[in-house]
Structure 1
Amino acid sequence: MRRPLEKTSPARRRRIAAVGLGGAALLLSACSPRVERGYLPHGVTKNANEVIDFWLGTWYWTLAVGVLVWGLIFWCIVRYRRRKSDTGFPAQMQYNVPLEILYTVVPIVMVAVLFGKTVGLENKLLDTSQKPDVTINVVGKQWSWDFNYADEKVYETGVMADMKAGKPGAEKGLPTLYLPVNKRVEFVLTTRDVIHTFWVPQFMQKLDMIPSRVNRFAVDTTEEGTFKGKCAELCGAYHSQMLFNVKVVSQEEYDKHMDDLRKQGKTGFLSNSLNRASVDPKDQQFLPDGLDSSDIVKEGK
């Protein structure tokens, strides 16, 4: 006698529906721009596209190697599985020189190629041989940022973010770095106390700020908008509140902001001296008369 069909319980139907919806969402998400970028943020510089291409290429090759290794593992499991007719241990093979050479040489070549591609990309990201349209000295301090616009001889100074116990509105008090769109901007990075890291995630690159040392990198901005910046090096108790905004604007709006800084009396060049007390603009030391701020930026003083 045929067994009657059992009814599917509501809980089981919900689980099946959840699995189906999850699978559909996964398939649909595979077509989203975020997945196409390898879950990296949307890049707003020319170098960002280079980073995304390198990231995706690395993952493609990694997955290809993974699929090959997993395939060989499962093939060995099926091909050489123990059978009922087998008695004792299978034949043992101590050496296979061609195979050993293969799995030694191939990984070395793969690592060497990856290393070469990485160095090439790093050199491109850190290339400052091209003359920039704008030069900005970014000064890190516990726990905020100062921006010296070397070409315009004006500055912007910041104070630590007031997170207000998680309430909205903290962004209004953050220092804001203005950049003109479609221009090459060179950042000259210095620090007034400990090691910090200048990081704008959508630039797809970051660089350390080390005491008594000047580091540089340049970006070509490609898109207007407001973006987030932060310190990416654990620099003390309030590291998480060392935040800033970045506004990439038109040349006209950039020039207007420079004029606004002049009207506010923020002219000159904030000191780069290693001084933890130099967090208040009233305490900052300016350059002696006749000493051009761009010279300081170039010399790294």
Structure 2
Amino acid sequence: MRSNRRLRWAVAPIALTLVVVLAGCSQQQLRGFLPAGSEGATNHTSGITGLWVTSWIVLLAVGVVTWGLIIWAAIVYRRRKGQTGLPVQLRYNLPIEIFYTVVPLILVLGFFAFTAKEQNSIEHVVKDPDVKVEVYGKRWAWDFNYPGVGPGGNGVNEPGVQAQELENANGSVDASKIPTLYLPVNKSVQIKIESRDVNHSFWVIDFLYKKDNIPGKSNYEYLTPTKVGTFKGKCAELCGDYHSLMLFQVKVVTQGEFDTYIQSLADKGQTGILGPEYNTNSNLPNNTVPSAKK
């Protein structure tokens, strides 16, 4: 009877704490502290959010059970006044051994299955996307190509420069000079991701996904932007001195605004594709010397 009473006193504060914490959660906390702008940003973000939130809820439950058992064992089996020697030992308890073997196995298999399912959805190849773009990472900026559009269907391009820090602005940068990738809303997009020099990683934060830029290799990302807006991006792979200034942004716009932007690049003479001939690694496959435009 005394042990049951003590157990209740040990469990009650834990339960009360959980109730208070969960009741005070904001919407962002309920979404697992994911970026606020990620909700509905692409056709993949809801699935990624669901996987993430479900995972931490399950793991939180596991943690609560584990902490509860630790506290319970520490209270119930503590050395009492006047006791000497070791407390009663418990060995070869088959139910307990089955429990701590089977439950973790189920959790691992469950996490693997749901993660693989979501990854297959994200990595699904769209055979005939509405829009194709090419992204080249370079120290320490980004080049964006839009193949198959513009005069003669030869494509247009937007060469990027490194983010420029503002003087006396505590590390702020000039947003007007950050490389910008334009995408039309509600259109399927294929993004071809490459590197001109070292490993980089193309990461649009609110899209909840990143893809590595690897020299000599083309990676692909498929998505459909579903929310108009401007989304921040950065390199997520340490790539040298100015890695922190390798920033960009993605503007998801209407089809009309996208077409106007493509035409503006053509009007500025930024036609053609900035291809692998501009890679700084001279030993990469298929590299050639850039020729001057006539």
TM-score, normalisation: structure 1: 0.79
- Answer with 192-201 or 164-173: which moved more: 164-173
Which residue number corresponds to residue 211 of structure 1?
Answer: 215
Which residue number corresponds to residue 84 of structure 1?
Answer: 81
- 2:67 is aligned with 1:70: yes
**Are the aligned partners of 1:269 and 1:286 in contact in 2 as well (CA < 8 Å)?**
no
Question: 1:159 corresponds to which letter in structure 2?
Answer: V
Aligned residue pairs, count: 259
Which residue number corresponds to residue 131 of structure 2?
Answer: 134
Runs of 5+ consecutive residues of structure 2 not aligned to the other structure = 1-19, 150-154, 283-287
- 2:27 is aligned with 1:33: yes
SS of equivalent to 2:194: strand
CA distance in 2, matches of 1:151, 1:122: 29
Which residue number corresponds to residue 187 of structure 1?
Answer: 191
CA offsets per residue over residues 39-90 of structure 1, 9 Å max, x none? Answer: 1012111201111111100011001111111121222223223233544333
Question: 2:56 corresponds to which letter in structure 1?
Answer: W
CA distance in 1, matches of 2:291, 2:56: 49
Question: 2:29 corresponds to which letter in structure 1?
Answer: V
**Are the aligned partners of 1:142 and 1:276 in contact in 2 as well (CA < 8 Å)?**
no
Q: 1:94 aligns with which of 84, 88, 91?
A: 91
Which residue number corresponds to residue 107 of structure 2?
Answer: 110
Change (3 A) 1:165 1:29: farther
- 2:262 is aligned with 1:258: yes
Change (3 A) 1:172 1:284: farther
**Are the aligned partners of 2:197 and 2:281 in contact in 1 as well (CA < 8 Å)?**
no
**Are the aligned partners of 2:135 and 2:191 in contact in 1 as well (CA < 8 Å)?**
yes
SS of equivalent to 1:56: helix
- Answer with 78-87 or 48-57: which moved more: 78-87
CA distance in 1, matches of 2:112, 2:292: 43
SS of equivalent to 1:46: coil
* Aligned positions of 1:146-157 closer than 5 A: 146-152=143-149, 153-157=155-159
**Are the aligned partners of 1:135 and 1:186 in contact in 2 as well (CA < 8 Å)?**
yes
Which residue number corresponds to residue 235 of structure 2?
Answer: 231
Over the aligned positions, Cα root-mean-square deviation in angstroms equals: 2.6
**Are the aligned partners of 1:163 and 1:170 in contact in 2 as well (CA < 8 Å)?**
yes
CA distance in 2, matches of 1:121, 1:135: 23
- 2:265 is aligned with 1:271: no
Which residue number corresponds to residue 162 of structure 2?
Answer: 160
Runs of 5+ consecutive residues of structure 1 not aligned to the other structure = 1-24, 289-301
Deviation at 1:29, TM superposition (A): 5.5
